[in-house]
Amino acid sequence: MSTALDRLAALLPPERLLVRPVELAAYESDGLTAFRTRPLAVVVPETTDEVIAIVRLCHELKLPFVARGSGTSLSGGSLPIAEGIVIALNRLNRILKLDPAQRIAVVEPGVVNTQVTLAAAPFGLHYAPDPSSQSICTIGGNVAFNSGGAHCLKYGMTANHILGIKAVLGTGEVVEWGGGSRERLGPDWCGLFTGNEGLFGIALEITLQLLPKAECFHTVLAGYCTLEQAGDAVSAVIASGLLPGAIEIMDALALEAATAAVHAEYPPGCEAVLIVELEGPHEVVAIERERLDAILSASSPVEMRPARDAEERLAIWKGRKSAFSAVGRLSPDFIVQDGVVPRRRLGEALRRIAEMSQETGLRVANVFHAGDGNLHPLILFDGREEGALHRAEDFAGRILRMCIEMGGSITGEHGIGVEKRDFLPDMFTADEIDCMQRLRAAFNPLGIANPGKMFPGSEAPSLSHVGLHPLEKAGVISRE
């Protein structure tokens, strides 16, 4: 493989071609830490032309590549390939254009999600998709995985906010679809590209739609004695004809974690907390909040806490968005699942997850986007225990099969990645998978773009989880 490294060295200065094990260690894993692979090299391009040259070289040499932003994928979407390279895109972090009249931003793939909203804020605009990792995850990764967030019910996922994409495909071709207009003619290429999980190529410039920031928010946190009551409250809100920006639920264990991590305070004695947020002009919110408050009051909450100001609203969201990482304080290891069930079957799904938890003896914290039926059970385990990871993965698999059986999906927003590729055939027929494989082959005929993701039967990842992080084993880091 020295040819590949020599050829890469001709494209990039030595400090942007990482090959030493110590430099590669940080890229071995992403948000799905159960899998780890050391790549041949990591390249750090700084311009789109460099990315194009790298991809074309990979095509010429049949060298597999994995594009990576901040490495926050929860499905192992940016897990490296041992015989391939990682293309780290963090330095392509320029906001190329911000047009307040057209309400768009054109950004490079390494721009961090919240940076877009920060840049747009002086114009009263914001970028709507808000995955929990928004303060570090990149737009390129959001596009590759069609990331969601807490506000999908009203505003949709990443794909709904992508107006244009310039990309280099697995064939080396550079394409430009869409642009500044919210409407387009012909097939929706941007829609097809978004969520491709890196199997089609790499987005180089992305045109994002910006929305006016809502004038007024009404965010209510309501505590309940049971999860079921919280679920019933969601059904009542939906049936009322209101369209909240977000409807979220956290269960007791998730509350415990958030309390420990960010000192969030929740009503005592609650088994579940519901967060509902209305937004809009203050005249509209004033009317809708009366309706919402009446519905919630009738749903037997232990306590209702409307946010009285922006600070209190942020505190509610901070607790919610920190829940994933906060669970790390309760358990040495955990698996996050991302299944979707029809909203009306949420209660039933949660009951069955609780039963499975009893059976397996593994604790589960539930944090979910209740408004769109998107569950995030966090299965807690201790990787140092013999067979624990295996039991947790089994449990996760049972949850996914339940989601399919209920007419839902195995992923709402995290993507298939490495993690759920074996479940693809549970959701799609052989013909349907073949159709997607044919599409993959059109964009990426050599299979060099992010191999081993999405499709079952691809080569297995090299290393599996063994408990401690390598730096922990080396005594470099430790947990509280």
Partner 1 sequence: MISPATLTELRDAVLSAPRVIAVGAETKPRLSAAETVKISTRPLSGITEYEPSEFTFSALAGTPVREIIAALDEKGQYLPFDPMLVEAGSTIGGVVASGLSGPGRFRYGGVRDFILGVRFVDGLGRLLRLGGKVVKNAAGFDVPKFVVGSLGRFGVIGEVTFKVFPKPESTFTLQMPFSSEKMAQLANSRFEIDALDVLPGGETMLVRLAGPAKALEVLAKEIGGEVTDSTVWRVIRETPWSFKADITLDQINDFKTAHVSCGGNVAFSNAPPPRGMTLRGDSPLWIGGRPRFAIEAAVKQALDPQNRFPTLDD
Residues 129 to 148: which contact partner 1 by CB under 8 A?
Answer: 145-146, 148
Amino acid (one-letter) located at 373: G
Q: How far is the CB of 88 from partner 1 (least distance, A)?
A: 24
Q: Which CB atom, from 173 or from 303, has the smaller least distance to partner 1?
A: 173
Q: Of 5-13, 321-329, 339-347, 459-467, which segment contacts partner 1 by CB under 8 A? A: 339-347
- Binding to partner 1, residues 263-282 (CB under 8 A): 280-281
Q: How far is the CB of 386 from partner 1 (least distance, A)?
A: 32
Q: How far is the CB of 179 from partner 1 (least distance, A)?
A: 8
- Spell out the alpha helix ranges (H) of 323-428: 323-327, 346-360, 388-405, 424-427
Q: Which CB atom, from 59 or from 465, has the smaller least distance to partner 1?
A: 59
Q: How far is the CB of 27 from partner 1 (least distance, A)?
A: 24
User: 96, 286, 310, 471: which one contacts partner 1 (CB under 8 A)?
Assistant: 286
- String of DSSP letters for 109-178: TTSBHHHHHHHHGGGTEE-----TTTTT-BHHHHHHHT---TTHHHH--GGGGEEEEEEEETTS-EEEEE
- Binding to partner 1, residues 297-316 (CB under 8 A): none
Residues 347, 332 contacting (CB under 8 angstroms): no
Closest by CA to 91, choosing from 62, 69, 75, 72, is 69
Nearest 5 degrees, angle CA 5-CA 11-CA 15? 75
Q: How far is the CB of 311 from partner 1 (least distance, A)?
A: 21
Q: What SS3 state is found at 233?
A: helix
Q: How far is the CB of 336 from partner 1 (least distance, A)?
A: 14
Q: How far is the CB of 118 from partner 1 (least distance, A)?
A: 17
Judging by DSSP bridges, how do beta strands 85-88 and 41-43 pair with one another?
parallel
- Binding to partner 1, residues 227-266 (CB under 8 A): 235, 238-239, 241-243
Closest by CA to 329, choosing from 465, 479, 468, is 479
Torsion of CA 49, 51, 53, 54, to 10 degrees: 160
User: 60, 176, 405, 459: which one contacts partner 1 (CB under 8 A)?
Assistant: 176
Residues 340, 408 contacting (CB under 8 angstroms): yes
Q: How far is the CB of 396 from partner 1 (least distance, A)?
A: 15
Q: Which CB atom, from 19 or from 439, has the smaller least distance to partner 1?
A: 439
Q: How far is the CB of 306 from partner 1 (least distance, A)?
A: 19
User: 153, 202, 296, 353: which one contacts partner 1 (CB under 8 A)?
Assistant: 153
* Separation CA 63–CA 56 (nearest Å): 10
User: 4, 32, 157, 379: which one contacts partner 1 (CB under 8 A)?
Assistant: 157
Q: Of 2-10, 96-104, 131-139, 264-272, which segment contacts partner 1 by CB under 8 A? A: 96-104
Give 433: exposed, middle or buried? Use CB within 10 Å, 0-12, 13-18, 19+. middle
The site for partner 1, by CB under 8 A, has a size of 92
The pattern of x and - marking residues 99 through 118 that bind partner 1 according to CB under 8 A reads -xxxx---------------
Q: How far is the CB of 116 from partner 1 (least distance, A)?
A: 15
Q: How far is the CB of 240 from partner 1 (least distance, A)?
A: 8
- Binding to partner 1, residues 346-385 (CB under 8 A): 369, 372-374
Q: Which CB atom, from 119 or from 270, has the smaller least distance to partner 1?
A: 119
Q: Which CB atom, from 28 or from 288, has the smaller least distance to partner 1?
A: 288
Return the residue matching tokens 């006016």. 212
Q: How far is the CB of 333 from partner 1 (least distance, A)?
A: 24
The pattern of x and - marking residues 49 through 78 that bind partner 1 according to CB under 8 A reads ------------------------------
* Separation CA 367–CA 377 (nearest Å): 6
Torsion of CA 257, 263, 268, 269, to 10 degrees: 10
Amino acid (one-letter) located at 137: C
Contacts of 290 (CB under 8 A, 6+ apart): none
Reading across the β-sheet that carries 174-178, which strands appear in turn?
A: 95-99, 104-107, 201-209, 162-169, 174-178
- Binding to partner 1, residues 188-217 (CB under 8 A): 188-189, 191-192, 194-196, 212, 214-215
Q: Which CB atom, from 399 or from 427, has the smaller least distance to partner 1?
A: 427
- Binding to partner 1, residues 404-463 (CB under 8 A): 407-416, 420, 424, 427-429, 431-432, 435-436, 438-443, 445, 454
Query: Token pair of 81, please?
Result: 């390939």
Closest by CA to 301, choosing from 219, 221, 242, 366, is 221
User: 175, 260, 295, 330: which one contacts partner 1 (CB under 8 A)?
Assistant: 175
Q: Which CB atom, from 50 or from 372, has the smaller least distance to partner 1?
A: 372
Contacts of 101 (CB under 8 A, 6+ apart): none
